[in-house]
Structure 1
Amino acid sequence: MRVDYRTTLPGGVKALQELEQAVRRSTLGPELLELVRIRASQINGCAYCLAMHNRDARAHGEHQTRLDVVAAWREAPLFTDRERAALTWCEALTDLPSSGAPDADYAAVAAAFTPEEVAALTFGIVAINGWNRLAVGLRTPLTSLDGLDLPANPPAPADPPQG
């Protein structure tokens, strides 16, 4: 790990955790929030967050096949219209420089969610993108995450990306 942000700036971690708590108090439900967290983490290439949120989604009863196809959710007939609107909004905000958060994507999310839920979903997307940037940027080790079902004989770790 480049910098252990959890111990170096605990106030920053606490602020993000408080944001997460506000989102959890919304009516969105943990299953939907985990799907959004997984999709943002896929886009951002965050192994730590992918492992965490796949683990957490399974703990909430999410079906493994749905988790297996989140990256290709548009082609999989396993997601509700509400989940599709949330995943569309997640992708638009996660890739904001390219997407610009199109009006059509906002219209879809606004049609599927109440204004309070739109705000909570948007805050949830902001939060996971922040966590992704901390974990990827500061190289949070995947193996530091509790409760993972790791392979018995994992390959030797590759050198971290340079740059």
Structure 2
Amino acid sequence: MKTDRIDISKVKPSAYQPLFDLHNDCKKSTLTDLEFLLIEIRASQINSCAYCIQMHVKEAIEKGEKQYRIHALPVWRDTPFFTSEEQIILAMTEEITLISNNGLPEILYKKAINTFGEEKVADIIMAICGINSWNRIGVATLLIPSPSQE
């Protein structure tokens, strides 16, 4: 399936670089690889970005994430598969991705600070902001996933 939408990476490559820098910074942050990927997958699901879902699910499986956990992400609150720390990260991902609904509720923010400390909370917020930017590019330009998506 081909679209006639622009390829921003070609039209405006300099605009992509700060997003790559943020992504790379987040990968070197206090987040584990799997925590970072849970953020990327869950935000991408909420934003209906098929391209990012495909890419990050593939990477998560390659890094050892269990498929049953990936499949359960949309209903994570109703499963026993995620640690209390992951539940905080997933809740933050949902609230920040849908920021116009409730903002980041104070009770969740305080729980995150008490659990992770300021540096990791900053890393979580920045990772969520980063993937939301990528999702918006993917959805706006109709990026198409491929089965191999390397």
**Maintained 8 Å contact 1:48/1:145:** no
Do the aligned residues in 2 keep the contact of 1:81 with 1:112 (CA within 8 Å)? no
Pair 1:48-2:51 in alignment: yes
Could you tell me which residue of structure 1 aligns to residue 6 of structure 2?
3
- Across the aligned residues of Structure 1 and Structure 2, the Cα RMSD in angstroms comes to 1.3
1:144 offset after TM fit, Å? 8.5
Preserved contact between residue 54 and residue 149 of structure 2 (Cα < 8 Å): no
Q: For each residue in 1:42-67, what CA deviation from the matched residue of structure 2 results, as whole angstroms up to 9, or x when unmatched?
A: 11111011001100100110001000
Q: Does 1:36 align with 2:21?
A: no
| TM-score normalized with structure 1 length | 0.86
Q: What letter corresponds to residue 90 of structure 2 in structure 1?
A: L
Task: State the structure with more CA Rg.
Answer: 1
5+ residue gaps, structure 2, are: none
Is residue 93 of structure 2 the alignment partner of residue 90 of structure 1?
yes
Q: Counterpart in 2 of 1:21? A: 24
What TM-score does the superposition give when structure 2 sets the normalisation length?
Answer: 0.93
More helix by share: 2
Which one-letter code corresponds to 2:74 in the other structure? Answer: A
What residue in structure 1 maps to residue 124 of structure 2?
121
Correspondence for 1:105? 108
Partner Cα distance (2:129, 2:15) in 1: 14
Give the gaps of 5 or more residues in structure 1: 148-163
Q: State the identity as a percent.
A: 34
